[in-house]
Structures are given as structure tokens and as C-alpha cells.
Amino acid sequence: MPDFSAAMTSGQTFTLAGRPATATVLFFYPKDNTPGCTTENMAFRDLHEQFKAAGVEIYGISRDSLRSHESFKAKLGLPFELISDPDEAVCQAFGVMKQKKMYGKEVRGVERSTFVIDAQGRLVKEWRGVKVPGHVDEVLEFVARRG
């Protein structure tokens, strides 16, 4: 996996190589305070304890500012940190920037994607073009099986 450092909520900096020796779920989403992204973040929130019990840390990533992330995190009561990637460096490293159609127009944006990285820093599973309903349950099932 490409190592990276990026600012995240709670005044912290995320470094892939410097994370705790646990499995990590990185989920990329398009934008704070939009319906699908809100639903996805709430699903990770609601299953956070089960992810912790499976020895997994969760981090959400979007191009939103830290200010937006802090507000979004507080509004939803998220127990995990959100990583800010306004220059798209992390999005580019993970190949999640795509041309998409929105209301009939071509736009460049984040393709909703989730990555599971093991305690040794190896990518063990990825989901791209994620549809929100049922996705977080599928991720939890995968990490619990790997246990």
C-alpha cells in the first residue's frame, strides 16, 4: 500500500505506516452531508463496536475540509476519525477519482470505495463502486471472518 500522511479530525495526523498494529478500514466517500455519504457514515458508526471487537480501526476519507469533517463528525456522533484530502493526493494514490454522471452531466469525483489493510500494511480486500445499502455489513462480515 502507498504510505501517506494526511490531516484528520481531532487535530491528529493519519499516517498509514504509523497506525496501530491492527487491521484498518479506509472508506472513501464523495462528500460530507449528502444523503448516501451520511447513510454510509452512520452505518460505520452503528457497527463501530463490532469492528473494534474484530480488532479493526475505521477511517473515512473525502476531499472535504477539516472544518466540514469536524462538523459532520459532531452532527452524526461518529466515533472514528475522518481524513481530509482536499488536494486529492490520497484519492489519487488509491485510484478512486473517476468521471461520473450526475444529473446527466459528466463530473469528476470520488468513487465510493472501501479498502481493508491488515496489521502488516497489506491490502487484503477492496470494494469499488460501492452501493451503500448492505455494504458496511459486508465489510464487517469480511473482517470478522479474517479475525
Crossing angle between the packed helical segments 135-146 and 35-46, to the nearest 10 degrees: 30
Among 25, 26, 37, 43, the active-site one is 37
Burial per residue of 108-124, b for 16 or more beta-carbon CB atoms within 10 angstroms, e otherwise: eebbbbbbbbbeeeeee
Rg (C-alpha) for the chain, rounded Å, is 14
Please answer whether residues 9 and 3 qualify as being in contact, where contact means their C-beta atoms are separated by less than 8 angstroms: no
Say how far apart CA 139 and CA 145 lie, in whole Å. Answer: 10
Q: How far apart are CA 147 and CA 3, in angstroms?
A: 24
Residue 91 appears among annotated catalytic residues: no
C-beta separation of 76 from 42 below 8 A: yes
Positions marked active-site: 37
